[in-house]
Amino acid sequence: MTGFDIKPILTLILMTCLLVAGSLAESQITASAGQPSAGSSGAADADAQSMVEETAGSLEEGSPNPVQLNYYQNHTFGFSMTYPESWTGKEAGPNDMGLIAGFLAPKESSKNPQNYLMVQYESLPLDMNLDQYVAAALAHLNTTFPDLELISDNRTGVSGQPARELVYAVDRGSYKVLQVMTVRGQKAFIITFNARAAGYALMEDDARDIISSFQFI
């Protein structure tokens, strides 16, 4: 595993560059779950990503102010998730950085995003497991962000798969990041919530709900 390149961990730089470059396309909304988005041929295409959104229900059944959810499904990578209607879902165009989709927090600008959640993947060597991947990711993070403060590192689960959850601060504590990593087959899936530290707590519940909704299909 010497020389293995961890590429999806540069969260602050990566998301901004991709959004400014316009490689995230606006979500297509359809009323039929499981159907290709508008403009799709519907044919099985290993290189094509498809996203479907619909109102999926409420986060708090019986609540006087129910939170409406949008539904996201990606056939290429085989997962689905839900996110609050107040967030903006965007799917990545072709890129070589493993970015699959991003979700902007309410009122967040796509031109200069600071509060967002994104899903990435990375192909792994045959013998690399979750703990080895996280160790490599942490080493890369510490090199990239010398002032990184690791707040917590816990074992958790994603869609029945073992996962690790990291919470850390960077840029002199200006940004706080919640990152969940899991390995399925020869791919690592990385879900990252990045926010300005001052507003992190206000969006954390939404971010955790989005992450916990992630399901392999």
Question: Looking at the domain assignment, is residue 148 inside a domain?
Answer: yes
What's the pLDDT score for residue 30? 28
Question: Looking at the domain assignment, is residue 106 inside a domain?
Answer: yes
Question: Looking at the domain assignment, is residue 144 inside a domain?
Answer: yes
What's the pLDDT score for residue 94? 87
Question: Looking at the domain assignment, is residue 43 inside a domain?
Answer: no
Question: Looking at the domain assignment, is residue 2 inside a domain?
Answer: no
- 55 neighbors 68 (Cβ within 8 angstroms): yes
SS3 148: coil
What's the pLDDT score for residue 65? 63
SS3 161: strand
The domain total for the chain is 1
DSSP H stretches of helix in 63-199: 130-144
Portion of the chain with pLDDT greater than 70, in percent = 70
Domain containing residue 139: 11-37+48-216
All residue ranges of the chain with pLDDT < 70 are: 1-65
What's the pLDDT score for residue 18? 42
**CATH code of residue 18:** 3.40.1000.10
Question: Looking at the domain assignment, is residue 5 inside a domain?
Answer: no
Question: Looking at the domain assignment, is residue 178 inside a domain?
Answer: yes
What's the pLDDT score for residue 19? 43
| Sheet containing strand 88-92, strands side by side | 24-26, 88-92, 99-104, 116-123, 187-196, 175-184, 161-170, 149-158
Angle in degrees, CA 199, 205, 211, rounded to 5: 115
Question: Looking at the domain assignment, is residue 1 inside a domain?
Answer: no
What's the pLDDT score for residue 112? 83
The number of beta carbons lying within 10 Å of the beta carbon of residue 36 is 18
- Residue 165 CA to residue 51 CA, distance in Å, equals 26
